[in-house]
Copies of this chain bind each other. A is one copy, B any other.
Amino acid sequence: MREVSAVNEFGQTVTVFIPAERALTVYVDKRELVTLMTLGAHPELLVLGFLRNQRLVASVDEVEGISVDWEVGAAAVKTRLGIPDIEARTAKRVVTTGCGQGSVFGDLMAEVDNWVLPPATLTQAQLYRIVNTIRLRDSTYKLSGSVHGCGLFCGDELQLFIEDVGRHNALDTLAGWMWMQDQRGGCGSDKVCYTTGRLTSEMVIKSAQMGVPIVVSRSGITQMGLDIAKKLDVCAIGRATNRRFKCFSGAHRLLLQPELVGTRPALAPA
């Protein structure tokens, strides 16, 4: 975060906090792969999650180490055996709807059919606690209105909250963290992913790839996001603010408690 001056509607000079993103160029075995713009809270986890979500590495064990040098804005990834066909696998360029990581390397859709997600469910009360936990967070997002946040929950318990200039970076960092946790047992299958960003196809795919069957967003969903959520049986809950929400897919995973919100107000006077 950086403090800058701005002129407001009264003509006054005021102090505003804005997010200070930096460029981080990722080198895999000395080969330049990509440049990420990031707030850089957890650059190693971001790079690890990026490699995983782009499916360039299949297991943490394939990565010998990641070292970040902010002086030169570089992250050097060393793999144990190299990444086979890296040239071909990063050649196809899909410009997506996503914030942050617009390029999806390779054909993410190819394997999707084989994925099976754990049978986790969420109660409406848990959903409200998740939304409230995010609401109460003193976040860069709130302060600047210029970043996206992602939270990983175990049931309604917040495990990790990450903010970045792009929601993909935030989600990739979560993925990197989860991947490291999985090595140590993880939190089980009752995972819920919250994002301030929209539920686009890539966001749903990334969550599913992490084995998270429930995604919650304060924003909406797109058609491709919905199509993939249905295909993967992901519970996709959008427009979640205060006590309102819309469950677009996988509603059987959401245990409704409509008594929590009382009766819907009648449209006409009784």
A residues contacting B by CB (< 8 A) are 2, 4, 6-12, 14, 16, 18-21, 23, 33-37, 90, 93-103, 124, 144-146, 165-166, 198-201, 219-224, 226, 238-239, 243-248, 251, 254, 256, 258, 260-261, 263-264
Question: Assuming the A-B contacts A11-B258, A146-B220, A219-B145, are A246 and B95 also in contact, with contact meaning beta carbons closer than 8 angstroms in the complex?
Answer: no
Flag if A145 contacts B220 (CB, 8 Å): yes
**Bound-complex Cα distance A6 to B240 (A):** 13
Flag if B99 contacts A20 (CB, 8 Å): no
Question: Assuming the A-B contacts A6-B248, A95-B37, A243-B9, are A20 and B223 also in contact, with contact meaning beta carbons closer than 8 angstroms in the complex?
Answer: yes
Flag if B10 contacts A264 (CB, 8 Å): yes
Contacts of A37 in B (CB 8 A): 94-97, 200-201, 224
Flag if B102 contacts A256 (CB, 8 Å): no
- This chain: copies in complex: 2
Flag if A35 contacts B94 (CB, 8 Å): yes
Contacts of A33 in B (CB 8 A): 93
**Bound-complex Cα distance A95 to B198 (A):** 18
Query: Binding site of A, secondary structure by majority: helix, strand, loop or mixed?
Result: mixed
Flag if A99 contacts B101 (CB, 8 Å): no
Q: How far is the CB of A27 from chain B (nearest CB, A)?
A: 13
A239's partner among B36, B145, B244 (CB-CB below 8 A) is B145
**Bound-complex Cα distance A99 to B98 (A):** 5
Flag if B9 contacts A245 (CB, 8 Å): yes
Contacts of A34 in B (CB 8 A): 93-95
Which of A23, A34, A223, A251 is the most central at the interface, judged by chain B CB atoms within 10 Å of its CB? Answer: A223
A4's partner among B19, B36, B200, B226 (CB-CB below 8 A) is B226
Contacts of A247 in B (CB 8 A): 6-8
**Bound-complex Cα distance A95 to B146 (A):** 17
Q: Could you list 12 A-B pairs, sorted by A, with CB under 8 Å?
A: A6-B248, A9-B258, A19-B223, A21-B224, A35-B94, A37-B200, A95-B102, A97-B165, A97-B166, A102-B103, A145-B220, A146-B198
